[in-house]
Amino acid sequence: MELAEADGSVILRVRVQPRASRDALAGERNGALVVRVTAPPVEDAANRALVRVLGEALGVAPSRVRILSGHTGRTKRVAVEGLAVDGVRARLEASEGGR
């Protein structure tokens, strides 16, 4: 998975699958973290769900998770404040192991 640090945040690529049967991290595909959310892709509901799911998985407040690009698409660039690359990688691996 491609992770980079910039301005005190970790940047990662995310592929969102809306209208899933449950909210979950679903591994990696083509360098992007796959995140399933139950919310539909309308009225920003899937984006809000993505921010919440990533915040829970990484142990940070949702306010520390920002979508940088891809607001209307399934592939997004997301910034997570307050963690280092190694911390994000370790927390994602631990969350995926709990599936």
- The domains located in the chain, with CATH, are 3-97 (3.30.1200.10)
Type of residue numbered 62: P
Q: What percent of the chain has pLDDT over 90?
A: 88
Q: Are the C-beta atoms of 37 and 50 separated by less than 8 Å?
A: yes
Q: What integer pLDDT is reported at residue 99 of this predicted model?
A: 45
What confidence tens digit (pLDDT) does each residue in 61-82 have? 999 999 999 999 999 999 999 9
Decide: 35 and 17 in contact? Cβ < 8 Å: yes
The pLDDT, as a whole number, for residue 83 is: 92
Query: 3-49 pLDDT, tens per residue?
Result: 999 988 999 999 999 999 999 999 999 999 999 999 999 999 999 99
Position 98 pLDDT exceeds 60: no
So what's the pLDDT on residue 14? 97
